[in-house]
Amino acid sequence: MLKVQGLSFSYHRDKEVLKDISFQLDRHDILCLLGPNGTGKTTMLRCLLSLNKIKRGSIEIDGVDLTKASARERAEMVAYVPQASEMAFPYESFEVVLMGRIAHLPTGGNPTARDKAIAYEVMERLGITHLIHKDFNRMSGGEKQMILVARALVQQSRILVMDEPTANLDYSNQVKILQVIRDLAEEGYAILMASHFPNHAFLACNKVALMRDGVIIAQGNPEDIVTTENLTRLYQTPVCVTEAVLKFTRSVTKVCVPVMV
């Protein structure tokens, strides 16, 4: 569905921030983008959303050049889930979710009964209808993140771009968000998520890309790419990838452990 080829971007003419980025995202894929702070992950997401104008390369969805599409056309193809943030005004959560329908409304139009029904159905599916009348700015980080996911889903785009969807969340809410992401992929969504947690690649993703200094240094299956050597090189600090036996399921999984030396 999404094909990025040779993408390069720079804020200043003499210094490229992103260099020759290429990857592909198909239906049912969850691609985890890993990398240290300041390496260009959010900048790349902004390029995909056409918030940054790329210097070279191409971004296509089903053969359509995304850089030449209108804002409405892009919204029909790609939805964005940012890190939880404050709203400028005291919107209730249902109003925030309804914002995802803007791409389907005529200019200056108001949400219809159908738009409201879609928003309610999505919130019901995510188990967050009890938050409908709650002030978004007074919610916990986990609640905000679920509302932002709901807003993206009511947009009814089949590609989701998620910037640190589990940032600042406790274990319970991290697992809840990851489970939602896995369920959406099974339904046919294609999902690109930036993360600071390598373990998420094993928990929820079938693809992973490692980015450092604006370059993808490795990509592929998490089992092959998320290794002790690759993570130590990526973060420039000792990281051990090992196996753990899960007591509850008696299964074996890989985990990433930072090492203090």
For residue 101, name the pLDDT band (cuts at 50, 70, 90): very high
For residue 83, name the pLDDT band (cuts at 50, 70, 90): confident
pLDDT tens digit sequence for 150-197: 999 999 999 999 999 888 788 888 888 899 899 999 999 999 999 999
For residue 117, name the pLDDT band (cuts at 50, 70, 90): very high
CB 83 within 8 A of CB 177: no
pLDDT > 90: percent of the chain: 67
For residue 88, name the pLDDT band (cuts at 50, 70, 90): confident
The strand pair at 190-195 and 159-163 is best described as parallel
Residue 108 amino acid letter: G
Per-residue pLDDT at 85 exceeds 80: no
pLDDT of 29: 97
Per-residue pLDDT at 28 exceeds 80: yes
pLDDT of 23: 96
CB 197 within 8 A of CB 218: no
Helices and strands, counts by H and E, the chain = 9, 12
175 CB neighbour count, 10 Å cutoff:
14
For residue 61, name the pLDDT band (cuts at 50, 70, 90): very high
For residue 252, name the pLDDT band (cuts at 50, 70, 90): confident
CB 209 within 8 A of CB 31: yes
Per-residue pLDDT at 141 exceeds 90: no
Per-residue pLDDT at 221 exceeds 80: yes
For residue 18, name the pLDDT band (cuts at 50, 70, 90): very high
**56: helix, coil or strand?**
strand
Per-residue pLDDT at 102 exceeds 80: yes
The strand pair at 251-258 and 190-195 is best described as unpaired
For residue 15, name the pLDDT band (cuts at 50, 70, 90): confident
Count of alpha carbons within 13 Å of 68, Cβ hemisphere only?
A: 6
Q: What is the mean pLDDT of residues 118-123?
A: 95
Per-residue pLDDT at 115 exceeds 90: yes
Tokens of 3: 């094909």
